[in-house]
């Protein structure tokens, strides 16, 4: 079974402070990990994926297979980063099915 855990429902930081949104996963095979973001009154959108090893809007995330984690980090938070963040895992689920399993999300608030 595949499972994604985001231990923090709410996270509040001040502008300019570092931020880390935690994500742990459980999967027996070789997973693909993603972070999705939903800004207020906007649709859910892909922020970054581990396979690309990219930095989007200053955010990075490193897959740590030993700790089964995929934490999202940004060194200096901005007010516009305030949003709901979801960690997601994709793994083979019968044949070629690449179903995404989501965590329950973390609501990030960046205060001025």
Partner 1 sequence: GAGVSQSPSNKVTEKGKDVELRCDPISGHTALYWYRQSLGQGLEFLIYFQGNSAPDKSGLPSDRFSAERTGGSVSTLTIQRTQQEDSAVYLCASSLAARGSGYTFGSGTRLTVV
Report the distance separating Cα 23 and Cα 35, nearest Å.
9
Which C-beta is closer to partner 1: that of 95 or that of 112?
A: 95
The helix or strand, by DSSP H or E, that contains position 110, with its residue range, turns out to be strand 106-111
Which C-beta is closer to partner 1: that of 67 or that of 104?
A: 104
Q: Which residues pair with 87 in a beta bridge?
A: 35
Q: Give the footprint of partner 1 on this chain (CB under 8 A).
A: 9, 32, 34, 43-46, 49, 51, 86, 90, 93-105
CB of 18 to partner 1, least distance (A): 25
56-87 in b/e burial notation, b at 16+ Cβ within 10 A? eeebebebeeeebbbbbebeebeeebbbebbb
Which C-beta is closer to partner 1: that of 12 or that of 99?
A: 99
CB of 15 to partner 1, least distance (A): 27
Which C-beta is closer to partner 1: that of 76 or that of 98?
A: 98
CB of 74 to partner 1, least distance (A): 20
Report the distance separating Cα 90 and Cα 97, nearest Å.
9
CB of 83 to partner 1, least distance (A): 14
């Amino acid at each position: 079974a595949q499972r994604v855990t985001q231990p923090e429902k709410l996270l509040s930081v001040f502008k300019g402070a570092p931020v880390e949104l935690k994500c742990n996963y459980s999967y027996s095979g070789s997973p693909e990990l993603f972070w999705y973001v939903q800004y207020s009154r906007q649709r859910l959108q892909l922020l970054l994926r581990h396979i690309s090893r990219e930095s989007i809007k200053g955010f990075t995330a490193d897959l740590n297979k030993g700790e089964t984690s995929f934490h999202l980090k940004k060194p200096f938070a901005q007010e516009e980063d305030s949003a709901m963040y979801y960690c997601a895992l994709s793994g083979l689920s019968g044949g070629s099915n690449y179903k995404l399993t989501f965590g329950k999300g973390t609501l990030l608030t960046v205060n001025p």
